Amino acid sequence: MSRLLPLWRLASRWYVSTIILGALGIVLGSLVFFNVWPGKPKIGFINIPFTVITERSAFEISALLEYARTEDSIDAVVITITSPGGGAAASEELFFETAKLREEKPVVVVMNDLVASGGYMLALGANWIYAKPSSFIGGIGVILSPIPPLIPSPPTERDVLTGPFKAEGGDRRHYVSLTDQLKHAFAQMVQTQRGDHLTMPLAEVTQGQIYSGIQGVRLGLVDGIGGRSDALEKAASLAGVSNYDIEDINTEVSRLMNQKRDRVRGSLELNGPLASSELLKLLIEGDPDAARILREDLDADVLRTLPLPGGIGEDPNSALPDFPLKINGPNAYYLYVGPSP
């Protein structure tokens, strides 16, 4: 105790205690500033360039929406989009993801050149929709193709079916009925999301017509005419923030995904670099090193981007080369295909 007494006397002197308290103040202030103070507000910006919505593109867009939703530093989100729509299930998934994002922070969509059908469905999940005066929007409806012919082909002598609709899944009337159900579901979604803004009857909504941005405002399909700067100001207003920074979510998510891929490639120490399909094949076969990466390093999002080995792809002939029947069932699209040439 006697040894500490000189130090205590030194620390008690006013000029020493002033220095110590000043240093403590700087340290505590830094901790509060960097760990407690929220910092400058941010508006997240997502750019969806021209794309037909498929399972792959929907996965990539969902990754952007998920990052915007889970990143605490982002206070609101602006999305610019150009899309004629695409697959029905993929378009519905993007609507659900956008609406989920809207539940946690404001979302403003800006429609560029063409936003139709499934692309418009995605925009329905936002709090506010802008369009350009010359934007082409609408195309609300469904395409189901191909469906069985009026007179189905009888099975050959080598085919045995357990039911009359086993081969096609139903007759033509059945698929026309399914198309009508999907059309009404889309119309109900528009009515639910646009509410009292609509100035057109529901039957007219589903005729698949394309409108200009100005017409879209008059009909209640969009909220206003504007561009990116208008959307940023609207998003900030909805979030109740000002003096904000803009975060490019496309760039940030791409950077994070590249880091994950590099970590996976760098962690697997085998003879030379492996292609992603080879890595996935090792994971499936139970390779211990690959399993360790899956457990420690590999993110599920990275795994989904890897092609499946063994020829399993979109082409039925490459996936099932010995299967005797053609696999070509009907597909549903929320897609605007444009006027015929």
pLDDT tens digits, residue range 267-278? 554 444 445 555
Quick check: is 338 in a domain? no
CATH code for position 109: 3.90.226.10
What integer pLDDT is reported at residue 270 of this predicted model? 47
In contact, 115 and 123? CB cutoff 8 Å: yes
Quick check: is 323 in a domain? no
Is residue 94's pLDDT more than 70? Answer: yes
What integer pLDDT is reported at residue 287 of this predicted model? 60
The verdict on 25 and 97 lying in the same domain is no
What integer pLDDT is reported at residue 271 of this predicted model? 41
Quick one: pLDDT band at residue 70, thresholds 50, 70, 90? Answer: very high
The verdict on 50 and 110 lying in the same domain is yes
Quick one: pLDDT band at residue 258, thresholds 50, 70, 90? Answer: confident
The verdict on 183 and 144 lying in the same domain is yes
Quick check: is 317 in a domain? no
The first and second tokens of residue 43, run together, are 């508006």
The verdict on 278 and 221 lying in the same domain is no
The verdict on 210 and 267 lying in the same domain is no
The verdict on 51 and 13 lying in the same domain is no
The verdict on 238 and 299 lying in the same domain is no
Better pLDDT: 35 or 209: 209
The verdict on 179 and 276 lying in the same domain is no
What integer pLDDT is reported at residue 3 of this predicted model? 57
Amino acid at 141: G
What's the mean pLDDT in 190-210? Answer: 92
What integer pLDDT is reported at residue 2 of this predicted model? 55
Quick one: pLDDT band at residue 147, thresholds 50, 70, 90? Answer: confident
Quick check: is 286 in a domain? yes
Quote the number of domains for the chain. Answer: 3
Quick one: pLDDT band at residue 256, thresholds 50, 70, 90? Answer: confident
Angle at which helices 249-267 and 288-296 cross, to 10°:
150
Name the average pLDDT for the chain: 80
The verdict on 25 and 113 lying in the same domain is no
The verdict on 172 and 47 lying in the same domain is yes
The verdict on 47 and 31 lying in the same domain is no
Q: What is the pTM of this model?
A: 0.75
The verdict on 179 and 65 lying in the same domain is yes
What is the torsional sign of CA 136, 142, 145, 148? negative
What integer pLDDT is reported at residue 85 of this predicted model? 94
Tell me whether residue 77 is exposed, middle or buried, using C-beta atoms within 10 angstroms of its C-beta: 0 to 12, 13 to 18, 19 or more: buried
Quick one: pLDDT band at residue 150, thresholds 50, 70, 90? Answer: confident
Quick check: is 96 in a domain? yes
What's the mean pLDDT in 241-257? Answer: 92
The dihedrals phi and psi of 37, each to the nearest 5 degrees, come to -65, 130
Quick one: pLDDT band at residue 306, thresholds 50, 70, 90? Answer: very low
Quick check: is 279 in a domain? yes
> Tens digit of pLDDT for each residue in 6-53?
545 545 555 555 665 566 667 665 555 544 455 789 999 999 988 899
Residue 275 is part of which domain span? 251-312
Burial 91-113 (b: 16+ CB within 10 A, else e): bbbbbebbbebbeebbbbbbbbe
Better pLDDT: 77 or 150: 77
What integer pLDDT is reported at residue 309 of this predicted model? 42
Quick check: is 337 in a domain? no
Quick one: pLDDT band at residue 293, thresholds 50, 70, 90? Answer: low
Residue 245's CB is within 10 A of a number of other CB atoms, namely: 11
Is residue 98's pLDDT more than 80? Answer: yes
Amino acid at 311: G
Q: Which residues contact 132 (CB under 8 A, 6 or more apart)?
A: 111, 112, 113, 213, 225, 227
What integer pLDDT is reported at residue 158 of this predicted model? 75
Quick check: is 169 in a domain? yes
CA distance 155 to 96: 41
> Tens digit of pLDDT for each residue in 225-234?
999 999 999 9
What's the mean pLDDT in 73-99? Answer: 96
